[in-house]
Amino acid sequence: MPDELRTIQVTVNGTKYDRQVRCRKLLSDFIREDLRLVGTHVGCEHGICGACTVLFNGQTIRSCLMFAVQADGAEITTVEGLARGGQLHPLQEAFWENHGVQCGYCTPGFLLTALELLQRNPNPTEEEVRIGIAGNICRCTGYQHIIESVLAAAAKMGAKTV
Amino acid sequence: MSKTWIGKNVKRHEDPRLLTGRGTFVDDITLPNLYHAAILRSPHAHANILAIDASEALKYPGVVEVVTGEDVVQKTRPFSVVVKTPFKYYCAAVKKVRYVGEPVAVVVATDRYVAEDAAALVRVDYEPLPPVVDPEAALEPGAPILHEEVGNNISCHRLLDYGEVDRAFAEADLVLKERFVFPRYSSVPLETYAVIADYDSSSGVLTVWSNFMGPFTLHPVTAMALNIPENKLRFIIAKDIGGSFGIKSSIYPYIALIGLAAMKASRPVKWIEDRQEHLMASSSQTDRVSYREVAMRKDGTLLAIKTKIIDGVGAYLRAPEPATTFRPIGNYVGPYKVKNLRVDAYDMMTNKCPTGPNRGYGCHQIYFEQERMMDMAAEKLGLDPAEIRLRNFIPADAFPYVTPSGGIYDSGDYPKALKLALEMSQYEKLREEQKKARKEGRLFGIGIAVGVDPSVSNMGYITVAMPAEVRSQPEYLPKSGAVEAATVRMDPLGGVTVLMNSTPQGQGHETVVAQIIADELGVSPDDVVVVDDFDTSESPWSVSSGTYSSRFASVGTSAVVIAARKIKEKMFQIAAHTLKVSPQDLELGQGKIFVRQDPKRNISLKRVAGTAHWDLLRLPEGMEPGLEARGVFHFPMADAPDSKDRVNSSNTYGFMAEVAAVEVDRDSGQVKILKYISVHDAGTIINPKIVEGQIYGGALHGVAGALFEELVYDQEGQFLTGSFMDYLVPTAAEAPKLEIGHVCSPSPFTPLGSKGAGESSSETAPVLIANAVADALAPLGVKVTELPLTPKRVWALIHDSSSTEVGR
Ligand code: FES
Ligand code: FES
C-alpha cells in the first residue's frame, strides 16, 4: 500500500502536471525530486521549521507534512512561481533591498509565509510581523532584516495597489 | 585607492538566485544512476556489538549494499588528531558503540524510502555497558571507561601557566572562586549535512559533493582515513550552503562513510542527514564544567586568573578538537591587562556525540566565566560593573598588544566602545529605572559583557594541546600560518572575474569581493563576476582554506586586494608603455588610466585589456601576456607555539561591548529582553548591512544558548532533544531587537584594515543575558552560574532562594 502508485494531477506555478507517485511520497519530496523544483527546501521534515512552506490552494502549508497524493487536484505555488517574466515580486525585491537573505535556505519559506501574511494584513505592525513569521525558523539573520524586509514589502505592495 | 564602494550597502549579488529558488545546495544536485543511503544508528550510549546481520536488509527489493563496521575496519583507518592518545575513531562503530546515534551500518538503495525500510531490517545484537555522560564524572576513579586502550577517559590534558599566578594570588585583596557549567548547544543550520560520493574505479578518484566548510586541514585527514592519496580525493563544495556556524567542519567522518559506501556499492550515493540525525549525531560544542578563581586588588584591578576546565568532547576526540579548549588561548584574558593566567584543561571523553566547532568556538565559554566573575567581583568590591571593566581594559595606546598567552592584539579602543554602549543604552537612566522597578518588587536587571573577538585561526595553535617537550622533539613537525588565495582575471573586453575558494555559507562573499575589486580597479561592482566554486582539483586551496574562525573579512579580502593590485600594476605598465610615460605618472579612474598631470592623455581599461590579450607585440618587452593574477595573503605572525606555550592563536582581534536590560517574571521564571545594545569594533567595514546581519544572527545564537537551547542527555546517555519540538531554536517572536553601534580601529595587519565579525556577539550574548538575569535576581541573593536560563531553572533560582530580599 505505501508503495502503491497513484496518478495525480497538480498545477504548480500555473503548469499542469500529471504524475505517478508512490502513496507514501511526501509532497516536499515530490516537488523537489519529481518536479525538480528545488527552491522548496527541507529543514526538519517534522513541521516546525517552515522551510518547506508552499501555497496550497492559496494557503500556506508545510509540504513535508503532506503526501503528494493529497495534492491531487490542487494548485500549488512555490518560490519559483513568485517572480513573473524576470521581474521579482515586490516581496523578493524588499528582501533583496533589506538584506533579508543570508544563506537563503529559509528564504523560500519566509517569502511564502510573508506573502500570505500581507494578503491577510496588508499593513502589519512590527509586532504583527514577528508573530506572523514565528512559524518559520531562520538561523542566520536573527530575524531583524527579515522583519524589516516584510515591513518594506508591505509599504511597497500597499503603494502598488492604490 | 578611493573608497567608493567599500563601506556601502551594496545589494548582495547572491540574492537574486536565492530569492527565486535557483540556488544550488547539495541536495539540489543529482547524478545519473544515483543511489541513496540511510544510516542505522546506535540506540545505546555504550554497548558492545556482538553481531550484525544484514541478510534481511540485503534481500529487500531495491537494496544494493550494506556497509558495517567490518568494512570500516578493513578499508579505512582511524582519523588522525593532534594528540597521541591511543583511541581509535573510525567513520562508523567498530565492535562497540559509544554514543546514541553512532553510525552502525549504512544501507544503499534505489531511494531513501527504501533505504530507511531496509535499515530497520538490519539486526544488531548489543551488550549494553554502563555509560558516563558527565565530563566531571568521567574524570573520577572508577568511572566507566570508553576506550580500554586509553585506560581512562582523558583525551587531552594540559596545564598552561603564564606569568606569576601564585604570587599574584598571594598578594590579592580579594580572591573569588566559582564553579560554572556551560551546556552543549549547537550551530543548527537550517540545512543539514549533505554528501554525494562517486568513486571512479578506473582513475581511483573519489569525488565528493558536500557542504563541508573547511578548514581543509580535514581533507588530508579524510584522505588518510580512506586510504586514498590526497590528490585522488576530490572535494567539490556546493555553491550554496544553508548556514553552518562551524558545525559543517565536522561533516568529514560522514564524507568518509558515504565515500566508503559509494566505493563498496560501485555507484554514486547520496546521503542527506535528517534533522533528528543532525541534532543527535552531527556535532556540537562541548559541555563544560569549570572552576575559576580570580585574584583582585581592592580597587578592582584583576591580578590573576586560574581556571580548571573540564570539557566533554564526547565519545571520540575528533579534529579540530580539542580546539574548543585551545582556540581562544591567545585571547584568554579577553580585553583585560591582567598578566597572570593559569589554565588547567581536561578534554574528557564521555558517551555523547563527538564535538567540534560552533560559532564562537571556545570563546563564549571563557567569557561566560570571565564576565560573570567580573560582576561578582564588582559586587563584592562595591563597584559598578562598567567601572570595574573600564579599570582593567588594555588602554587604547597599548596596541599592538601582546597578551600573556602570546596573542598579538592588532588594534582596538575598548574604553571607547564600552562608553559608546553605555551611552546608547542610557545606562544611568536604566539604573534609575531599575531602582524604581525594584521598589515595585519587579525583577529588573542590567547586564554588561565585553569580549575580544578572534579571527583567522593560526594553523599552528592547536599543537599547544601537546606538551612543549613533545613539540620540541626533532621528529615533531611544527605547524604555523594562515593563508588565503584569490585569482583576478580581466577578459579581453575589460570584464573582471574573480575566482575564490572560500566556501561561504551565507556571508555574501561574492558581493564583498565585487566591492573590493570595484574600488581597486575603478569599475562597478555589478560588472564583476565572482565565482566561488570550491573544487580541490581545480581551486588554488590550502589547508587553511574555508570559511571558519571569521576569517574571510581579514584574510580572504586581503588576498583579493593583493591580486587586484597585481593586475592593476600590470595594467599601469601596459598603459605607461602605450602612453610613453612612467607608471608612477598614471592614475586610475572612470574606466580609464590617465596621466595625472594631463588627464586628456588616457587609455581605457578595455583597451589595456585588449592589448594584454590580443596585441601581444605591443606589450612591454618581457611581459607575460594575459591579465590574470593570483593574490596570496598570509599572516606572518601566525607562528607555532613557543616553548612557554605562548601562541598568537588568531590574527586579527575585534571587540564587542554589550549592554542589556531584562525583566524576569517572578511567577513563570520567564526572561524578557527589554534592551540589547551591541557595539562592535571590526576594523574597516566593507558592507555594513552584511556585518549587521552577522551581528544580529550571532547575537541571537548566543541568546538562544543563554535562554533556550541545550542538547540534553539523561543519565543513561539517552538523547532527549532530537527534534525542533525539544531543541528550542528561537523564532522572530523571541528574538530581541538589537541596537548596533560601531567604533573603528582598522587592523594594521590587513591591507583594508578589516577584521572578522561573524562570531562576535555569539561570544558575549550568553554571558550578557546571564549577567542581566543575575542582576535582576540580585535582591534574592542567588547566583547564576549555569545556562540555559530556562523558565524552569530561573523559577527554581527564585523559589529556592532561602535568603530574604535585600534592596540594592
Ligand atoms: S521541513 Fe517542513 S516544516 Fe521543516
Ligand atoms: S538565511 Fe540562512 S536560515 Fe535564514
DSSP string, B46-99: SEEEEEEE-HHHHHSTTEEEEEEHHHHHHH--PPP-SS-------SS-SSEE-S
Same-domain check for residues B618 and B513: yes
Domain-embedded: residue B239: yes
> Per-residue confidence at B800, pLDDT binned at 50, 70, 90?
confident
Same-domain check for residues B223 and B81: yes
Distance from CA of B470 to the nearest CA of A (A): 41
CB B131 within 8 A of CB B137: no
CA of A9 to the centre of ligand 1 (A): 23
> Is it the case that residue B1 has pLDDT exceeding 80?
no
Q: Give the pLDDT confidence of B209-253 residue by residue, as tens digits.
A: 999 999 999 999 999 999 999 999 999 999 999 999 999 999 999
Domain-embedded: residue B411: yes
Tell me whether strands B496-499 and B528-531 are parallel, antiparallel or unpaired: parallel
| Cell reading at B578 | 602605450
Same-domain check for residues B224 and B76: yes
Q: Which residues of A touch B508 (CB under 8 A)?
A: 102
Minimum CA distance residue for ligand 1 atom 3: A47
Arithmetic mean of pLDDT, A11-27: 97
Q: Give the pLDDT confidence of A83-133 residue by residue, as tens digits.
A: 998 899 999 999 999 999 999 999 999 999 999 999 999 999 999 999 999
Residue A107's closest chain B neighbor by CA? B19
Mutating which of A62, A144, A145, A148 best tests the B interface, going by the most B Cβ atoms within 10 A? A144
Interface contact B15-A144, CB threshold 8 A: no
- Ligand 2 site, residue A146, Cβ cutoff 6 A: no
Q: Which of A32, A38, A139 faces B190 most closely, judged by CB atoms?
A: A139
> Per-residue confidence at A25, pLDDT binned at 50, 70, 90?
very high
Q: Which residues of B touch A92 (CB under 8 A)?
A: 19-20
Task: Look at residues B109, B104, B52, B40 and name the one whose alpha carbon lies nearest to residue B265.
Answer: B109
What is the 8-class DSSP label of residue A32? I
Find the domain containing B101 and state its range.
Answer: 31-129+187-281
d(CA B747, CA B756) in angstroms, rounded, equals 10
Domain-embedded: residue B160: no
Interface contact B692-A147, CB threshold 8 A: no
- Ligand 2 site, residue A140, Cβ cutoff 6 A: yes
Same-domain check for residues B626 and B709: no
CATH code of residue B362: 3.30.365.10
Same-domain check for residues B313 and B394: yes
Tell me whether strands B96-97 and B47-53 are parallel, antiparallel or unpaired: antiparallel
CB A23 within 8 A of CB A67: yes
d(CA B229, CA B223) in angstroms, rounded, equals 6
Same-domain check for residues B582 and B561: yes
> Per-residue confidence at A160, pLDDT binned at 50, 70, 90?
low
- Ligand 1 site, residue A10, Cβ cutoff 6 A: no
Q: Which residues of A touch B22 (CB under 8 A)?
A: 39, 80
CB B581 within 8 A of CB B533: no
Same-domain check for residues B704 and B609: no
Number of domains in chain B: 3
Domains of chain A listed by start with CATH number:
5-81 (3.10.20.30), 90-157 (1.10.150.120)
> Is it the case that residue B256 has pLDDT exceeding 50?
yes
Q: Does the predicted interface ipTM exceed a cut of 0.95?
A: yes
Distance from CA of A111 to the nearest CA of B (A): 8
Q: Which residues of A touch B18 (CB under 8 A)?
A: 101, 103-104, 107
Residue A112's closest chain B neighbor by CA? B19
Identify which ligand lies nearest to the alpha carbon of A143.
2
Among A31, A41, A42, residue to substitute to test ligand 1 (most atoms within 8 Å of Cβ): A42
> Is it the case that residue B116 has pLDDT exceeding 60?
yes
> Per-residue confidence at B808, pLDDT binned at 50, 70, 90?
very low
Domain-embedded: residue B9: no
How confident is the model at residue A158, as a pLDDT? 85
Spell out where B578-670 has E strands.
586-589, 592-595, 598-604, 628-634, 652-664
Interface contact B731-A105, CB threshold 8 A: no
Q: Which residues of B touch A105 (CB under 8 A)?
A: 25, 189-191, 240, 242-243, 506
Same-domain check for residues B514 and B604: yes
Domain-embedded: residue B176: no
Same-domain check for residues B305 and B401: yes
What is the 8-class DSSP label of residue B268? -
- Ligand 1 site, residue A135, Cβ cutoff 6 A: no
Interface contact B190-A131, CB threshold 8 A: no
What is chain B's mean pLDDT, rounded? Answer: 96
Residue B699's closest chain A neighbor by CA? A142
d(CA B8, CA B512) in angstroms, rounded, equals 10
Domain-embedded: residue B88: yes
Same-domain check for residues B559 and B515: yes
- B574 CB-side CA count, 13 A: 31
